[in-house]
Amino acid sequence: MGETKLFFGPNHPGMHGNFSVHMYVEGDIVKKARPVPGFLHRGFEKLMERRYWYSNISLIPRICVPEPDINEICYAMAIEKIAKVEVPERAQWIRMIVLELARIANHIWTVGGIGGPLGLYTASHWGVADRDRILDIFEALSGARVYHMYIIPGGVRKNMTPKIEEMIWKTLDYIESRLPDYENLIFKNRIVHSRLRGRLILTREQAVEMGVTGVGLRATGVEYDIRKVDPYLFYDRVEFEVPTATDGDAFSRVYLKFKEIPQSIKIIRQALEKMPQADRVNVPIGRGNGLRRIVPKGMAYAHVESTRGEYGFFVVSDGKNKPYRVAVRGASYPQGLYGIEKYLPGTRIEDVPIWLATMDVCAPEIDR
């Protein structure tokens, strides 16, 4: 039997994002796989170097659509390090709340979304509907549901009102009440176990060699989370756990995402209780007016724990009104390129979307 070339994506309903995998198969077995990004946004790094510092705030969220806020915080933190700016305390707590809401929204979408390639469409519908409740919060807070442009260098764009805080409390209670339903529908489902248990295993050594972080690494037993190993914002002032597993398979990766949701709920509740009441939520950075501010000379790297692992921005300023260099450390870059080529050969055709879903491959941050 000879090899047949199959195109999985970018328009396949099982593809996660605007991405493509060219598969060379014999029967149902993948013999060779080649990732093909570049069907959506491209060249963010060079685009950022051609725009004013503040103009980039509307550009960077698009580097990863499901979790845009991590780009805002990394960019802002790097600039704040260079300019040696102290962000108001209330703004720091608000940033934490936004990031954890984004984490819940992405996790619940991904956990429900695993039902797509498995034929469990009820889970997919649940995930989209419940994520929408968090998008309602973002819309009330920033005026936008997907690209918020809310976290800015120096703080956040505007204050969080008591009405929005109440909205967050109610949404957290609702999401928490829904978790047993997800547990019963997905993680106690025989089909899910047969499709995910013992499939697409990544060992600790393979994960470390490839540079995988996030649940891909924690599923191998490594408790590595930037919020713990290098705390930013006020993560060292709240209590939360980092769930881990040891099997390193597709099931473990999805289940860890699910187990992180109540931890994010716990963090947000603590942040709402600890956050001081204040009017000031941002400070000016650099010299100049409006978009044409000048950031002092210097360089900085800022990283955070995204839903896919370590996500970072390396920013260089030459003292002008535009960045001299911006480099993005995309969390899904290793598993989205090297991982596909090395670890998909030998698997079955139906395992390909499972790899993309459980390893959280976000296409735009690869071809950035």
Residues of the chain with pLDDT under 50: none
CATH number assigned to the domain comprising residue 202: 1.10.645.10
Determine the pLDDT at residue 289. 66
**26 domain-assigned:** no
- Calpha distance 335→220 (Å, rounded): 15
* pLDDT tens-digit series, residues 8-45: 878 776 677 778 899 999 999 999 999 888 777 778 89
**267 domain-assigned:** yes
Determine the pLDDT at residue 328. 93
**86 domain-assigned:** yes
Contact between residue 323 and residue 55 where contact means Cβ atoms under 8 Å apart = no
**217 domain-assigned:** yes
Determine the pLDDT at residue 269. 98
**367 domain-assigned:** no
Instruction: Provide the H-helix boundaries in the chain.
Output: 44-48, 69-83, 89-113, 115-118, 121-142, 162-182, 190-196, 204-210, 215-218, 226-229, 250-274, 333-336, 338-343, 352-358
* pLDDT tens-digit series, residues 142-154: 999 999 999 999 9
Tally of domains within the chain: 1
**64 domain-assigned:** yes
**334 domain-assigned:** no
What are the Cα distances from residue 217, in Å, to 35, 196, 250? 21, 17, 12
Expressed as residue numbers, the domain containing 197 is: 41-329
Determine the pLDDT at residue 1. 57
With CA atoms as reference, report the closest residue to 56 among 311, 295, 337, 219: 295
Beta-carbon contacts of residue 299 (< 8 Å; ≥ 6 apart): 82, 314, 315, 316, 317
**354 domain-assigned:** no
**3-state SS assignment for residue 133:** helix
Q: Tell me which residue has tokens 């429900």.
A: 112
177-208 per-residue burial string, b: 16 or more CB within 10 A, e: under 16: ebbeebeebbbebeebeebbeebbebeeebbe
**Strand pairing of 155-156 and 151-152?**
antiparallel
- Calpha distance 39→7 (Å, rounded): 14
